[in-house]
Amino acid sequence: MIDLHCHLLPGVDDGSPDLNESIAMSRQLLSLGFTDVCCTPHMPWSTVVRTEEEISAVREKLSESLVKEDLPLSLHSGAEHWVTEVMERLSKGTLLVYPAKTTFLMEFGLDGFPPNLDELLFRIQLKGMRPVLAHVERYPEVRKDVSIIGKLKERGCFILVNLPSLVGGWDRRALKTARNVVRQGLADAATTDMHSVHDAPLVRDGLEELKGLVGKKGFDTLMRINPANIAGLCDGSEEN
């Protein structure tokens, strides 16, 4: 399985605080069946803005530590971009993208979509990029009517739900919304959004819930095939 959204890198945001925690999280991810993780720290985190080079260095150090620990978890590029940062980064070409180079993770605030969303999505399309929207079950517009996701997908967006949300790991509204998004076939992938080793039980339960909602074939699509295509971790022979 492939995780498109995980706060695995040590000491860069509100995820893993240190290398030991990152190693413990990696053990849990492997035990759950993950082989690949796109490391997506918040961009920015609080008032700290780290460069792509800084984040890459942390990821490489963690990868080296996993090899020493005999933990075969492959780490890949990415970042969880706050929506207000995207326009400037798009114009400067400084988005921290997935390996595909044309996709990147983006999140909105809990107060909902920004007023300039249409313009932003239009500019993203003009640049030949595609946004991957984190945990859509948290946003008021989606909670009110999941059909709005269809309009986002028409503008090129990929849609993610968090596995813990499927079992109440955020709140009851998120649980109901996440399940509806999955049932209606609107999700492109499900992610861990892990911040610590303590999130592993919710991820495990979320995986089981997902299997029950979509069956074996749907599960493979959401956890392996689609994530591979979105992140650029395959040869593109399977269509998303």
pLDDT in tens, 58-88: 999 999 999 999 999 999 999 999 999 999 9
- Quick check: is 237 in a domain? no
- Quick check: is 239 in a domain? no
- Quick check: is 240 in a domain? no
- Quick check: is 236 in a domain? no
Percentage above 90 pLDDT, the chain: 94
- Quick check: is 106 in a domain? yes
- Quick check: is 166 in a domain? yes
Mean pLDDT over each residue of the chain, to the nearest integer: 95
Q: What pLDDT shows up at residue 209?
A: 98
Radius of gyration for the chain, computed over Cα atoms and rounded to the nearest angstrom: 17
Residue 197 has pLDDT above 80, yes or no: yes
- Tell me how many domains the chain contains: 1
Domain extent, residue 22, equals 2-231
pLDDT grade, residue 50 (50/70/90)?
confident
Q: What pLDDT shows up at residue 238?
A: 38
The domain that contains 40 carries what CATH number? 3.20.20.140
Q: What does the chain come to in residues?
A: 240
Secondary structure class of 97 (helix, strand, coil): coil
Question: What contacts 88, CB < 8 A, 6 or more positions away?
Answer: none
- Quick check: is 85 in a domain? yes
Identify any residues that bridge with 105 across adjacent strands, giving them in sequence order: 80, 132
- Quick check: is 87 in a domain? yes
Judged by average pLDDT, the poorest of 43-47, 90-94, 109-113 is 43-47
Q: What pLDDT shows up at residue 235?
A: 47
Q: What pLDDT shows up at residue 234?
A: 79
Q: What pLDDT shows up at residue 236?
A: 39
Q: Which amino acid is at 43?
A: M
